[in-house]
Chain A
Amino acid sequence: MEELIRLAMSWQDLLAVLGVFGFAPGCVLRLLVMIYPRDNPRRKELVAQLYVLKRRERSLFVAEQLETVLFEGVPNRVRALRRRLARNQARPSDDSSRARQSIGQPGAAMGLDVVSALVRGIVDYRRENEQDNQVRSLGPALLGAFPWMDDDHLIRAIADTPSACVVVGDQSATTSEKLRQACGRANGFPAQACPGLRDLAPSQNGRPLVVGPTTQVPEIVLPTFRSIGRTRSDHHQAPTLHTKMVLLGHLWWHDEGPLGHVEDVIGFTPEKLWVGSANGIRNAQSYWECGEWITDPDRVAAAHQHLIDLIRHSESIAAPDEPHRPDIAPYEFDNAAMGEAVGLLHAEDNDNFSY
C-alpha cells in the first residue's frame, strides 16, 4: 500500500488523501457505501464497524473499503439496476391487454429455477418490511402449503420470516427431521392472528380441549412447518395436499378489544400471493415450472381462507414411528358446567336486585 502511494501519487495528492480519509472518514465511508443498493445491509454494517475502531485505524479502514465497494457494491448496484430495468420493461403499457399481463408481470417466473424466484421474493419482501418500521407492526409474516419440501434455501427463507406457518404433505424421515429442526429455530405463527384459527387449542390426549366457565384457553403459536395427509387412525387415507402457494403479509397489533376495553389484539393482513406449479424441492430445478406473484385482493383473500382451512386440518410433524395424534383442535364447551355457572349468576343477580 505504502509503495503504491509512493509510486502513484505526488506529495500534494498524498496530503489531499490524508486530509479526506484522515479527517472525515465517516463522511467518506457513508458516500462510498451509497454505491450499494438501498436495502443492502452492508451499508449499515460498514459504517457501524468504523465507529468501533480506534481513530488512527479509521482512515485505513475507509481506504480498504474502496475495494469492498468496487468488488461487491458495484456488482450489487448493477444487478439492482438490471432488475429495475427488467421490471420497467415488463410492465405493460396497454391496459386493454390484460390477458397477456400475467405473463409479463415482474413477479412471473417460468423455466427451470422457479423456486429460486420464490425464495428471492420471500427474502426481498422480508427485508423491505423489516426495514419499514411501521407503528404497531409485528413484521412480515407468511402462510403457505407445499406437498413436497426439501429445498434448503426455501426452508431457510421461511424459517427466517418472523412469523410463518407452512403446511406440507407427508415427507420422508430425513426431510421431516430437517423440517422439525427448522421449527426449533423459527418463531412459528400466532394462531390468534387469523380469526379462522382463534378457536384452536392444544388437544388433551388427542381429544379437543373442553372449556368450562373458569378455563383459560391457551393462546397457541403454530410451529413453522406442519403436515397434512398422514393416514388417519381409523385407517382411512386423508385427502392429499396438492396446493403449492405462499402468502406474504404482515402482522399487526393494537390494544383495543371489540367492546372498547383494553385487550391485546393481533391480526394478519395478507398482501402478496405466490401460486405456481413447483414443489419446494431441490429437484424442481430439473422441471419446467411456472409461478407468479399475485396481489389481486380477491385472489389473495381466497388463498388466505384456503390456507387457514389447511392449517386447521394439519398436525405437528411427528417422527415416523410416532402415532398420529392431532395436537390442536377446536375447543368444545362444557355445556352443563356453563349452564350451571349461568344459573348461579342469575341467582346472584336476583339476590342483588332484592336489596
Chain B
Amino acid sequence: MRTTYTLVQVALVLMADPAAKHWGYELGKQASVRSGVLYPMLTRMLAEGWLSDGWEDTTTIHGRPPRRYYQLTDQGRLALGAIVDKARSDARFTNLRFGWA
C-alpha cells in the first residue's frame, strides 16, 4: 500500500493500542479520516492480512445489531509499525503526533 497521509493517521491510531478491537467509525474519528476514505483502506488492509475482522458478541448487546470490529494481526503490527517508523523521518508527516513509543 502507498504510504499516504491518511494511512499514517490510521496506522497511528491502530498502533496506539495494537491489541484492541477497533470499530470503523470510532477509528475514523480518532484518526480524523472520512468514512469514504477509511472503509476502502480497511478493506485493503484486510486483503493484505494486516487486519482481521469479526462481529460483536450478540449476547453482550441489546436492541441493536452487532458491530464489526477490526484487530491488528501480527503481520499488520509489523507492516504498520514499519510505516509509522518511516513516517517519523518523512517531512510530509511532521505535523502528525507520533505519541506512542
B37 — which chain A residues lie within 8 A by C-beta?
71
Is the CB–CB distance between B68 and A65 below 8 Å?
Answer: no
CA distance A49 to B67 in the complex (A): 6
Is the CB–CB distance between B49 and A156 below 8 Å?
Answer: yes
How many residues of chain B are within 8 Å of chain A by beta carbon?
22
Is the CB–CB distance between B25 and A47 below 8 Å?
Answer: no
A125 on the interface (CB 8 Å rule)? Answer: no
**Cβ proximity bits A44-79 to B, threshold 8 Å, 1 near / 0 not:** 110111011100000001001101101110000000
Distance in Å from the Cβ of A156 to the closest Cβ of chain B? Answer: 5
Distance in Å from the Cβ of B18 to the closest Cβ of chain A? Answer: 16
CA distance A161 to B47 in the complex (A): 15
Is the CB–CB distance between B40 and A72 below 8 Å?
Answer: yes
Provided the pairs A41-B68, A67-B34 are in contact, do residues A49 and B24 lie with their beta carbons within 8 angstroms? yes
Is the CB–CB distance between B49 and A44 below 8 Å?
Answer: no
**Cβ proximity bits A144-175 to B, threshold 8 Å, 1 near / 0 not:** 00000000110010000000000000000000
Closest residue to B67 on the A side, CB-wise? Answer: A48
A312 on the interface (CB 8 Å rule)? Answer: no
A324 on the interface (CB 8 Å rule)? Answer: no
Closest residue to B25 on the A side, CB-wise? Answer: A49
User: Total A-B residue pairs with C-beta atoms closer than 8 Å?
Assistant: 52
Secondary structure call for the A interface:
helix
Closest residue to B40 on the A side, CB-wise? Answer: A72
Distance in Å from the Cβ of A118 to the closest Cβ of chain B? Answer: 15
A313 on the interface (CB 8 Å rule)? Answer: no
Is the CB–CB distance between B49 and A72 below 8 Å?
Answer: no
B65 on the interface (CB 8 Å rule)? Answer: yes
Is the CB–CB distance between A45 and B68 below 8 Å?
Answer: yes
Provided the pairs A64-B35, A152-B49 are in contact, do residues A71 and B40 lie with their beta carbons within 8 angstroms? yes
B5 on the interface (CB 8 Å rule)? Answer: no
CA distance A264 to B64 in the complex (A): 34
**Cβ proximity bits B48-62 to A, threshold 8 Å, 1 near / 0 not:** 010001001000000
B99 on the interface (CB 8 Å rule)? Answer: no
Closest residue to A44 on the B side, CB-wise? Answer: B65
A45 — which chain B residues lie within 8 A by C-beta?
24, 67-68
Give the contacts of B5-41 with A (CB-CB under 8 A): 23-25, 34-37, 39-40
10 A-B pairs whose Cβ atoms sit less than 8 Å apart in the complex: A41-B68, A44-B68, A45-B24, A45-B67, A47-B65, A48-B66, A49-B25, A68-B36, A152-B49, A156-B49
- Interface residues of chain A, those whose CB is within 8 Å of chain B, are 41-42, 44-45, 47-49, 51-53, 61, 64-65, 67-68, 70-72, 152-153, 156, 181
